[in-house]
């Protein structure tokens, strides 16, 4: 009986730690970045379906939302992007796009 209670307590503790760590990395705040849209994956019709913004600070992977999908059409273009940033499970920087604008020279 004591072993079952101990195991249950350990399980609750582990679940709490994982939930806290996941919540801490999902969204770290709002940021505005400037960089180049980089295509990362395409569908069978050569439409860009995944991408990132290459900045001086590294790559920000674009999260899958309607505005982010529109942004991916600007592959190769310089853009200014505002959105919520965080990290994915592999510790890659991510951005959920709220607004963007294409920059011209």
User: With respect to CATH, is domain 29-102 assigned 2.40.50.140?
Assistant: yes
Which segments in the chain show pLDDT lower than 70?
1-27
**How confident is the model at residue 13, as a pLDDT?**
47
pLDDT for residue 21: 43
- pLDDT, residue 15, reads 57
Condensed to tens digits (0 to 9), the pLDDT of residues 24-42 reads 345 678 999 999 999 999 9
| Residues with Cβ within 8 Å of residue 29, at least 6 apart in sequence | 84, 85
Measuring CA to CA, how many Å separate 91 from each of 9, 11, 22, 80, 100?
A: 29, 25, 11, 23, 24
Domain boundaries, the chain: 29-102
Per the confidence metrics, is the pTM higher than 0.75?
A: no
């Amino acid at each position: 009986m004591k072993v079952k209670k101990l195991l249950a307590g350990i399980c609750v503790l582990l679940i709490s730690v994982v939930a806290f760590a996941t919540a801490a990395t999902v969204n770290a705040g709002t940021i505005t970045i400037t960089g180049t849209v980089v295509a990362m994956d395409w569908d069978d019709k050569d439409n860009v379906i995944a991408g990132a913004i290459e900045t001086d600070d590294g790559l920000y992977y674009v999260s899958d939302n309607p505005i982010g999908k529109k942004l991916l059409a600007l592959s190769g273009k310089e853009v200014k992007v505002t959105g919520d940033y965080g990290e994915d499970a592999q510790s890659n920087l991510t951005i959920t796009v709220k607004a963007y604008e294409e920059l011209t020279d």
